Structure 1
Amino acid sequence: MYGDNIVSIINTKIKPFYNMAFKSNEFISISEKDIIGKWSIFFFYPADFTFVCPTELADLADNYEEFKKLNVDIYAVSTDTHFSHKAWHNTSEMISRVQYAMIGDPTGTLTRNFNVMREIDGLAERGTFILDPYGFIQTIEITAEGIGRDASDLLRKLKAAQYIHKHPGEVCPAKWKSGHATLVPSLDLVGKI
């Protein structure tokens, strides 16, 4: 269903957007200009007041300090409004822990920019995107409706993306973690792995 659309946006720059969000008990505006200069995670989910979504957002909230230490901003995005995000934040014990921005995308523009709109429902797929400080998409993960994501694995992928960004010419093998060995692709390495 997505195939070529998803693959085609790797290493592309974020498209222009302007949305309202709820963060730190305030309504704020966010555009593509606000994300430049820091690493960003766009964390799309289907809807407020649902079942898997609050567990995912709470997991991110529990790991938010670790993300901040890595100079990362997190943006949770659904096609709900920023007003709905505030109401959910005020009524859900899990969501009350969220300190990062919750972007409302009732027009679906931002969701479509990342190719994760489920048009038949008007809802976002579970899509996770890591963007570098220049606004280029470095990783994409899409999971089915009932499969929740894991913030600790997202942290691992973020650290790998940041490492590769700082060390061009090196690559991170499977299960790579900070401090582990990387690989330097070369003719001499062919057939030795």
Structure 2
Amino acid sequence: MIDTEIKPFSATAFKDGEFVDVTDADVKGKWAIFFFYPADFTFVCPTELGDVADKYEELQKLGVEVYSVSTDTHFVHKAWHDASETIGKIKYYMLGDQNGTITNNFGVMRPGQGLADRATFLIDPDGVIQAMEITAEGIGRDADDLMRKVKAAQYVRNNPGQVCPAKWKEGDETLAPSLDLVGKI
């Protein structure tokens, strides 16, 4: 999936107290995170979505839009937003994918369950997947690590010929791959 372009989709989302239509064309031209989770009104999911909500303003400053996705409808997203203090702080798009198009497009539909895996995709402004993470049901994701990956992907895009080593954080040294480095790291 890395280095592949996202596939066409159309969905209705809950965002800022409104229902809005979103398509793959809306995603292109900016950085995007697709944050898949199994279902609304569950246990690990709200902790993850709340964690991303806490980083949303910082992500926006980096030019990143967030799209959370589950196979629930946009109506259920609104009800959850209204019922949960944690989910109530979400300002990003909550896409309804009840027909499974987006979830299947990204290859994270659980066979026979109609639920998305716990998966994250970082999309560049060209609509190309630059990073992905999929975890088991009980393993929550970390928005701080997601932020690190966003900054690394943006750095690599803006600095051709440079790569970010393990545990790279903004401001750390990068590498310029060359024959001289082979066997010396």
Q: Secondary structure at the match of 2:85?
A: coil
2:54 and 2:33 map into 1 onto residues whose CA distance is: 15
The alpha carbon displacement at 1:191 in A equals: 1.1
Q: Structure 2: how far apart are the matches of 1:119 and 1:189?
A: 44
Equivalent position amino acid for 2:90 in 1: V
Superposition TM-score, scaled by structure 1 size: 0.95
Q: What aligned pairs does 1:1-193 form with structure 2 within 5 A after superposition? A: 9-193=1-185
Once residues 191 and 121 of structure 1 are traced to their aligned partners in structure 2, the CA distance between those partners, rounded to angstroms, is 47
User: In structure 2, what is the Cα distance between the partners aligned to 1:122 and 1:181?
Assistant: 44
Cα drift, residue 168 of structure 1: 1.4
Q: Which amino acid is the alignment partner of residue 11 of structure 1? A: D
Shift of 1:151: 0.3
Q: CA deviation at 1:137?
A: 0.2
Q: How many residues align?
A: 185
2:61 is matched by which residue type in structure 1? K
Structure 2: how far apart are the matches of 1:100 and 1:119? 28
The gaps in structure 1 that reach 5 residues or longer are: 1-8
CA RMSD of aligned residues (A): 0.5
Q: Tell me the SS of whatever aligns to 1:46.
A: coil
| Counterpart amino acid of residue 64 in structure 1 | Y
The 2-side partners of 1:96 and 1:152 are apart by 20
Corresponding residue for 1:5? none
Q: CA deviation at 1:119?
A: 2.0
Q: Distance in 1 between matches of 2:138 and 2:183?
A: 39
- 1:135-172 deviation per Cα after TM superposition (whole angstroms, max 9, x unaligned): 00000100000000000000000100000011111110
1:28-60 Cα deviation digits (max 9, x unpaired) = 000000011110000000000000000000000
Query: What TM-score does the superposition give when structure 2 sets the normalisation length?
Result: 0.99
Percent identical among aligned pairs is 65
